Structure 1
Amino acid sequence: MEATVTQLTERLAALPMRSIVAIAGPPGAGKSTLAEALAGKLSDTAILPMDGFHYDDAILRDRGRLAHKGAPDTFDVGGLLSVLERLREATSDVAVPVFDRDLEISRGSARIIPYRTRLILVEGNYLLLDRTPWQGLAPCFDLTVMLRVPRDELARRLTGRWQHYGLTAEEIARKLETNDLPNGDTVREESCDADLVVVNG
């Protein structure tokens, strides 16, 4: 079902205590921006970014996957599942990792989600991916949202992102064609249907 941001906000406001919502979409779809905007409108809301569960570069280098950082196999899905289960129990505050894009590393225990938080927005590319081990996350979510953005608009946004971080035109083109856009195709083609779809571009 398609929904506007206003309709999504109203739906989230009506959810009961300790609801966990997945906001999925391709790289560049605006997941973080949307989650932050929603958290600003809704009281007692916390954000859990999936990017905090990136494997460290040293691990990816050992596995020959550093050039493909951001692909489904470069995340600690088990770690994410463990944190989601702890958040579901809501018996204590939970420390969660946050990805520092300037440093390109995850900082462990960088954010605290209090156990009395009413709504938790989990945002990330592969939260609805219909592939092992990602399917194991599904029971943790009370509502799922997919952001839909045209591929050419994703390319434009991602180009701007990497320009901001000082990459050359050649580096950006290689990053988009070999990693970012194929990862976006994976999200579009292999994700389970979401409860709500928000067009964001």
Structure 2
Amino acid sequence: MTETIERAALSPYRHFTAAEWGELRKDTPLPLSEAELEELKGFGERISLDEVSEIYLPLSRLLNLYVLETQELYRVTSDFLGRSQAKVPYIIGVAGSVAVGKSTTARILSTLLARWPNHPKVDLITTDGFLYPNKVLEERDLMGRKGFPESFDVRRLIQFLSDVKAGSRNVEAPVYSHFTYDIRVGESIVVDQPDILVVEGLNVLQPWKPAEGEEPLPFVSDFFDFSIYLDADEEAIRRWYIERFLSLRETSFRDPKAYFHRYAHLTDEEAVQTADSIWTSINLANLRKNILPTRQRAQLILRKGDDHRIRDVALRKL
């Protein structure tokens, strides 16, 4: 018992069960309906209003307090310098494996944060838009490593975040289509001085290493004011990935225009084998080598159980 207490005291995190974390919502009302939650869920995602109330509502309350303090710091700094400065957004990073539920977490959090009165303008971008186009990945023999750090246009992502953090107006981010599995040519998301920007992606907490001869770049996470890592056991994520693949085989893969239409007519056994192969060769390899090692860099870790529900919360000590 003494050894356990000592380890907890030395940990950089404070740990909470879901129930303990839920108590921190205090009297904050839930500004989200069942119908709205359905629209925010990712494909095949399992989440209830109870879980939103227990996990995401306290988190939005904490982040609201952080944003308020940052806004006040910005105000007093402007007073000290004797001049106003361009509006600078509070940036939140959301990291984690493929199929762990990052997109749903980012959308729910963005929606809840936008309903606090002091920062109503909240934008969300995913780093998928900063993947190189398939043509470039094919030329560089990287299609089998899509999602790995080298498959992203890191310089463009860094420039985007730098412009946003500098308070620039109308900064454009490219858009990615999971249907065509490629960048949408001619489309972009415009980020125009939001109060908060949520950035969701696989490798957003990773230290980026320059190629030989290149100048070192800032880390993506250097631009974050707060970071979240969504965690779960490898076997659970594998199962969720395969389940999603099987569901997509019966839905969007059926469309002849879909990139993965080739998998639409696989038998159940073939589909499981194919999904497992893709998971093991690409997504699991990326998780182990690039994503999981960044978990301890996050300020908040949300850990899911086998049932996809968040069971534990770890908040980094100040």
TM over 0.5: yes
Cα pair 1:52 1:98 within 8 Å, conserved: yes
CA distance in 1, matches of 2:286, 2:64: 31
Of the structure 1 ranges 13-22 and 126-135, higher mean CA displacement relative to structure 2 is found in 126-135
Note closer, same or farther for the CA distance 1:56–1:91 as it changes in structure 2 (3 Å cut).
closer
Of the structure 1 ranges 11-20 and 148-157, higher mean CA displacement relative to structure 2 is found in 11-20
What percent of counterpart residues are identical? Answer: 23
Note closer, same or farther for the CA distance 1:28–1:65 as it changes in structure 2 (3 Å cut).
same
CA distance in 2, matches of 1:114, 1:135: 22
Asked if 1:56 corresponds to 2:133, the answer is yes
Q: Where do 5+ consecutive residues of structure 2 fail to align?
A: 1-12, 16-20, 22-54, 72-88, 115-120, 211-216, 250-262, 264-270, 306-318
Hey, what does 1:119 align to over in structure 2?
Answer: 196
Per-residue CA shift, 1:119-174, capped at 9, x if unaligned?
Answer: 00001111111341586223211111111111111111211232244333332121
The equivalences for 1:1-201 within 5 A come to 1=13, 2=15, 4-14=55-65, 15=67, 16-17=70-71, 18-43=89-114, 44-107=121-184, 109-115=187-193, 117-133=194-210, 136-166=219-249, 167=263, 168-186=271-289, 187-201=291-305
Hey, what does 2:48 align to over in structure 1?
Answer: none
Deviation (angstroms), 1:109: 4.2
Q: How many residues align?
A: 200
* 3-state SS of 2:180 partner: coil
CA distance in 1, matches of 2:202, 2:168: 28
Q: Greater Rg, structure 1 or structure 2?
A: 2
The AA in structure 1 aligned to 2:239 is R
The AA in structure 1 aligned to 2:235 is D
Question: Which structure has the higher relative contact order (CA within 8 Å, separation 6+)?
Answer: 1
CA distance in 2, matches of 1:140, 1:152: 32
Cα pair 2:90 2:224 within 8 Å, conserved: yes
Cα pair 1:129 1:191 within 8 Å, conserved: no
Per-residue CA shift, 1:49-108, capped at 9, x if unaligned?
Answer: 011111111111111111221112111111111100111122312221121100111225
Deviation (angstroms), 1:13: 1.6
Cα pair 1:129 1:192 within 8 Å, conserved: no
Note closer, same or farther for the CA distance 1:42–1:190 as it changes in structure 2 (3 Å cut).
closer
The AA in structure 1 aligned to 2:169 is S
Deviation (angstroms), 1:176: 0.7
The AA in structure 2 aligned to 1:21 is I
Deviation (angstroms), 1:197: 0.9
Cα pair 2:130 2:153 within 8 Å, conserved: yes
Cα pair 2:206 2:219 within 8 Å, conserved: no
* 3-state SS of 1:185 partner: helix
Return the TM-score normalized by structure 2: 0.59
Return the TM-score normalized by structure 1: 0.90
Q: Where do 5+ consecutive residues of structure 1 fail to align?
A: none
CA distance in 2, matches of 1:161, 1:105: 19
Note closer, same or farther for the CA distance 1:81–1:73 as it changes in structure 2 (3 Å cut).
same
